[in-house]
């Protein structure tokens, strides 16, 4: 993928659900296949749109959980209380179903790993599942690219 950040018109695409992985009781990985996926960079997200039989539409943004070099696109979705989109994606979506999405979107964080400087990841309002994602991606990407660097992850945690 040469230019994932090239400015282009974002069109809705139909993604096929290839797999579902229940990470926790409220969190699920959606493994998606898109025939015209342009590729993505670390830190980007997609918009997911659901359309009801009566034409009502709802859309939400989800961060891309898969590494840029992975074949499939993976989104990790946490079911939120009264979440009309997340509830459907976590509880009702099945392998073989289709969802509309557009993206990748965003250019706020792009780490290409070519520098050898220390890395600091900062995330706000994380729960245990959310803290695991960046660490796992960083670790897997570092191993695949044979990079050695100092890295720290700082996550704030809200206590109710």
What string of DSSP letters covers 119-156? EEEEESS--HHHHHHHHHHHHHHHHHTT----EEEEE-
Q: Where do the domains of the chain lie?
A: 13-105, 119-155
Q: What does the pLDDT read at residue 42?
A: 81
**Predicted structure pTM score:** 0.67
DSSP state of 9: -
CATH class of 13-105: mainly beta
Residue 119 pLDDT > 90: no
Residue 4: pLDDT band by 50, 70, 90 thresholds? Answer: very low
> Is residue 68 classed exposed, middle or buried when 0-12, 13-18 and 19+ CB atoms within 10 A define those classes?
middle
Tokens 């070099």: give the residue: 69
What does the pLDDT look like over 50-108, one tens digit per residue? 999 999 999 999 999 998 888 889 999 999 999 999 999 999 999 999 999 999 998 75
For 5-60, the pLDDT digits (tens) are 455 678 999 999 999 999 999 999 999 999 889 999 888 999 999 999 999 999 99
Task: Please name which of 20, 21, 42, 27 lies closest in space to residue 128, comparing C-alpha atoms.
Answer: 27
Give the per-residue pLDDT at 159.
Answer: 63
Looking at residue 154, what is its pLDDT? Answer: 73
């Amino acid at each position: 993928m040469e230019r994932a950040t090239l400015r282009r018109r974002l069109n809705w695409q139909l993604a096929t659900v290839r797999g579902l992985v229940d990470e926790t009781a409220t969190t699920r990985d959606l493994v998606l296949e898109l025939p015209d996926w342009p590729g993505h960079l670390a830190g980007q997200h997609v918009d997911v749109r659901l359309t009801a039989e009566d034409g009502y539409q709802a859309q939400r943004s989800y961060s891309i959980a898969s590494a840029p070099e992975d074949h499939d696109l993976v989104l990790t979705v946490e079911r939120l209380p009264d979440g009309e989109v997340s509830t459907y994606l976590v509880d009702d979506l099945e392998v073989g179903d289709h969802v509309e999405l557009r993206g990748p979107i965003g250019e706020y964080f792009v780490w290409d790993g070519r520098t050898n400087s220390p890395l600091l990841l900062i995330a706000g309002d994380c729960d245990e599942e959310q803290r695991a994602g960046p660490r796992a991606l960083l670790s897997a990407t570092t191993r695949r690219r044979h990079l050695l660097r100092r890295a720290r992850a700082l996550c704030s945690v809200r206590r109710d």
